[in-house]
Amino acid sequence: MSVEPGPSREERRPYPDPEHSLAPRKPRTVGGFVYLVVLGTAGAGLALVAFGPFRTGLAVMGAGLALGAVGRLVIPADRAGMLGIRRKFVDVTTLLLLGAGLVVLAVVIPDRPPI
């Protein structure tokens, strides 16, 4: 019985394909661009919640999600990119409910009592 040696180190860990770059790429679809806008808006809102006026931050995040819902509603499915994960109805409903919930939360939360 002879045992064949396993793959060499070079065979196990191939070099990266030179055509693939680690540099950031532009979105390929309009939906991908809208997705990045929603992501940036959510990040800005989260920063406001953490370091600034939290009500404004919640409203910014809610507005960004509502913008994503409008984008998903308007953009055709073949150009939705990462914005279109499920069926259009599910995506739009989810984004609208989450966005509206954050805006309502920003309005309803009472002020902190003075210390």
Would 39 be classed as within a structural domain?
Answer: no
What pLDDT score does 114 carry? 63
Q: Let me know how many helices (H) and strands (E) the chain has, helices first.
A: 4, 0
Does residue 88 fall inside a structural domain?
yes
Question: What does the radius of gyration of the chain's CA atoms come to, in whole angstroms?
Answer: 22
pTM assigned to the model: 0.73
The pLDDT, as a whole number, for residue 78 is 87
Instruction: Supply the pLDDT for residue 1.
Output: 60
Picking from 106, 31, 33, 27, the residue whose alpha carbon sits closest to that of residue 63 is: 106
pLDDT below 70 — which residues of the chain? 1-25, 113-115
Report pLDDT digits (tens) over 83-112.
888 899 999 999 999 999 999 999 998 877
User: In terms of residue numbers, what domain contains 59?
Assistant: 48-109
- When divided into structural domains, the chain yields a total of 1
> 81 lies in a domain?
yes
Q: Residue 19 domain-assigned?
A: no
Q: Is position 115 within any domain?
A: no
